[in-house]
Amino acid sequence: MKCNRCGTDNPKGKSVCKKCGAFLYSANPNNRVPLTKEQKSARRKSLFKGSALGCLWSVLIIVGMFFVLGIISYLLVRFVIPEEYFSDVTIETSGSVTPGATSLPASSN
Ligand SMILES: [Zn+2]
């Protein structure tokens, strides 16, 4: 049985090409032959493998997207938001710690 993809002659009864791994039944509906039990199981295995791989890829893509989002938000916080935003917070906390701080408006009243 000749391979449709690479043209390698494979022994009869084989469901996949020994050279390139392509299925030996034709995808063309005009000369499609009914699948043998072996071919059906081979195709099912291949489909399962493909879907598992697709699942793995989608998980990897989702994890990668979260990773990229994390990096972007980190860069945003680190470089885009002005320094004063953080220095404001530090003044407030150090003012409450230091006893001689006069920055609080409530003490002057
Ligand atoms: Zn082949």
Q: How far is the CA of 66 from the centre of ligand 1 (A)?
A: 40
Q: Is the pTM of this model over 0.85?
A: no
Domain-located, residue 28: no
Q: 13: how many CB neighbours lie within 10 A of its CB?
A: 10
Question: Which is more confident, 87 or 44?
Answer: 44
Phi, psi of 23 (to 5 degrees): -70, 140
- Beta-bridged to residue 23, according to DSSP, are 16
Cα–ligand 1 centroid distance for 24 (angstroms): 8
Tell me the per-residue pLDDT of 17-36, one tens digit each, with 9 for 90 and over.
888 988 876 555 555 566 77
| Percentage of the chain exceeding pLDDT 70 | 61
Is 12 part of a structural domain of the chain? no
- Ligand 1 centroid vs 56 CA: distance in angstroms? 27
In this structure, is residue 81 part of a structural domain? Answer: yes
Asked whether residue 46 is assigned to any structural domain, the reply reads yes
Handedness of CA 89, 91, 93, 94 (dihedral sign): positive
Residue 72 located in a structural domain? yes
Query: Would you say residue 57 lies in a domain?
Result: yes
Q: Which residues span the domain enclosing 71?
A: 35-96
Average pLDDT, the chain: 74
Position 40 in a domain: yes
Q: Using the mean position of ligand 1's atoms as its centre, give its distance from the Cα of residue 54 in Å.
A: 23
Domain count, the chain: 1
Q: What is the Å distance from ligand 1's center to 3 Cα? A: 5
**What is the rounded average pLDDT of the residues 52-57?**
82
